[in-house]
Amino acid sequence: MTSPVINLAQALIQKPSITPLDEGCQTLMAEHLTKIGFNIENLFFVDTQNMWARKGSQAPLFCFAGHTDVVPTGPQSEWKIPPFNGEIKDGFLHGRGAADMKGSLAAMVIATERFVTKHPNHKGSIAFLITSDEEGPFINGTTRVIDVLESRNEKMDMCLVGEPSSTTTLGDVVKNGRRGSLTGFLTIKGVQGHVAYPNLALNPIHLAAPIIEELTQTHWDSGNEFFPATSFQISNINGGTGAGNVIPGSVEIQFNFRFSTQVTMEILQQKVNDIILQHDVKYELNWIKNGLPFLTDSGPLVDATVKAIKKIQGLDTSLETSGGTSDGRFIAQTGAQVIELGPCNATIHKIDECVKTDDLEILTDIYEQILIETLT
């Protein structure tokens, strides 16, 4: 099977662009976009290749966003088809990144080619914001490009991120927001000693126990129409020397909040501090702010996406905010409407990642229809 979108998706998969490498993927995309009038701006920061491509200078600015990097393959011997071959078998395109998200990138490019050819005098502008560090530390990618755009007051009005949002059928789920993520690193300090002489020591694990109980029982918020209640989860606890007869001197607790738009990072941080202080312990608490929540509950982009999916797939899509984080969190902070729409996510990050070839054709049609709905 050959078609423009399948050919491009195969070519992208065949480039082993494990984070933060791009391996020429963006160059390949740029070759297509240049031919239809896009200006290409390559933005390299430290170890990350980024591309800002734009056609037009008028509002509204519609942007496709995505990433060319992929997660490691794991043992390649366990793949039925080598992960960077981009082979088609039984109606599926196989390879690392097929669903997350080189298939989406190919669909974006081909949809834009079709749209620009059919509607050369379309209103507004079209852009692509592509990075190679979404699967990594997200330090030198989209967030740095956003800094550049903000410095020159170049604003996106609408942004479609090609993350694999669908669950069982292409287009059944659109992400119109994501929860925020906040990680805490808590160290409770005690006094190391012999377990036979607890009067000469202070067990930090015992001190931590009532704090943990209170944190896990606290009601942080009730969520809202689009978000579940904020979740507090402990992911790691480390304490002890490994010896069975030693009371440790400290215990380290790592935890994470996935939070809604009903609460802020600052409120969560303050509540955690207040709870710990009530227990009169010596402690250190550090934070990593992974991302703020965002929500596009209405507007032209949501309306266009719902209409396009209904027209092409005949589905009434579901707007959801479940799942992890994405680069949409950086883009949404600029005031842009942001949604995520891409292939089914059943095989992402797994051995034998794949996507239906028919789904890539349909996704291309949906992307094109969204452009029609927003820019004509």
Read off the CATH number of the domain in which 345 is found: 3.40.630.10
Q: Which residues contact 307 (CB under 8 A, 6 or more apart)?
A: 369, 373
State how far the Cα of 120 lies from the Cα of 110, in Å rounded to an integer.
15
Tell whether the model's pLDDT for residue 33 goes beyond 80: yes
Please tell me whether residues 9 and 152 are part of one structural domain: yes
State how far the Cα of 52 lies from the Cα of 329, in Å rounded to an integer.
18
Which residue blocks in the chain are alpha helix, DSSP H?
4-13, 25-35, 103-118, 142-151, 204-217, 265-277, 300-313, 328-332, 357-375
Q: Was 32 annotated as part of a binding site? A: no
Please tell me whether residues 111 and 71 are part of one structural domain: yes
Question: Is 150 one of the catalytic residues?
Answer: no
Tell whether the model's pLDDT for residue 223 goes beyond 80: yes
Pairing of strands 318-320, 125-131: unpaired
Please tell me whether residues 16 and 165 are part of one structural domain: yes
119 near 133, Cβ under 8 Å?
A: no
Please tell me whether residues 20 and 135 are part of one structural domain: yes
Nearest partner of 353 among 24, 15, 78, judged by Cα: 78
Tell me the pLDDT of the chain averaged across its residues: 96
Q: Was 280 annotated as part of a binding site? A: no
Q: Was 100 annotated as part of a binding site? A: yes
Type of residue numbered 349: H
State how far the Cα of 190 lies from the Cα of 233, in Å rounded to an integer.
23
Residue 322: predicted pLDDT: 85
Six token digits for residue 23? 């391996």
Please tell me whether residues 283 and 313 are part of one structural domain: no
Please tell me whether residues 189 and 322 are part of one structural domain: no
Number of domains forming the structure of the chain: 2
Nearest partner of 268 among 288, 249, 251, judged by Cα: 288
Please tell me whether residues 17 and 77 are part of one structural domain: yes
pLDDT band at 137 (very low <50, low <70, confident <90, very high): confident
pLDDT tens digit sequence for 143-187: 999 999 999 999 999 999 999 999 999 999 999 999 999 999 999
> What's the whole-number mean pLDDT along residues 94-106?
98
Q: Where residue 247 sits, what CATH number does that domain have? A: 3.30.70.360
43 near 50, Cβ under 8 Å?
A: yes
Q: Was 163 annotated as part of a binding site? A: yes
Q: At what angle do helices 357-375 and 103-118 cross, to 10 degrees?
A: 40
Catalytic residue, candidates 22, 134, 157, 320? 134
Which structural domain range is residue 265 located in? 180-291
Please tell me whether residues 205 and 264 are part of one structural domain: yes
Tell whether the model's pLDDT for residue 1 goes beyond 60: no
Please tell me whether residues 239 and 317 are part of one structural domain: no
Please tell me whether residues 65 and 210 are part of one structural domain: no
Give the 3-state secondary structure of residue 122.
Answer: coil
Please tell me whether residues 271 and 354 are part of one structural domain: no
| Domain final residue pick, 256, 291, 326 | 291
Residue 325: predicted pLDDT: 81
Question: Is 31 one of the catalytic residues?
Answer: no
| Domain final residue pick, 291, 313, 347 | 291
Nearest partner of 208 among 249, 244, 241, 242, judged by Cα: 249
Please tell me whether residues 212 and 275 are part of one structural domain: yes
Six token digits for residue 71? 């997660």
23 near 15, Cβ under 8 Å?
A: yes
Return the half-sphere exposure (C-beta side, CA atoms, 13 A cut-off) of residue 86: 18
| Domain final residue pick, 291, 308, 330 | 291
265 near 200, Cβ under 8 Å?
A: no
Which residue blocks in 14-91 are alpha helix, DSSP H?
25-35
Q: Was 67 annotated as part of a binding site? A: yes
Q: What are phi and psi of 65, to 5 degrees?
A: -125, 145
Catalytic residue, candidates 23, 69, 133, 320? 69
Q: State the DSSP code for 102.
A: I
